[in-house]
Amino acid sequence: MLYGDNAEIPPSSQKFMEALSDELNYEALFKQSLEDEKQSRDILLDFEQNYPNILDSDNTDNILNRLHEKKSGKNSKKTDNCY
């Protein structure tokens, strides 16, 4: 990485950047990126509605990642509290 460790870059952005170097169909990749962003927005809006005043700039990526895991079934621990 140009500016250091990947850990500071959200996983969705890392996935996008990796795909850029492998993918020749940039239009399809861009459309997928837009869809991913829309899905993330909808997930965060739902979270904010259910848990008002919890999201902030420090925890948004962490909460979003956990909500994506929960939605995809990767989170084996079943809890109501996702943060």
Q: Give pLDDT, residue 79.
A: 46
Mean pLDDT by 10 residues, the chain (83 residues): 63 76 74 91 95 93 90 61 53
Q: Give pLDDT, residue 23.
A: 56
Q: Give pLDDT, residue 78.
A: 47
Note every long-range contact of 43-46, with CB atoms under 8 Å and residues 24 or more positions apart, other chains counting.
Answer: 43/67, 43/68, 43/71
Q: Give pLDDT, residue 44.
A: 94
Q: Give pLDDT, residue 5.
A: 61
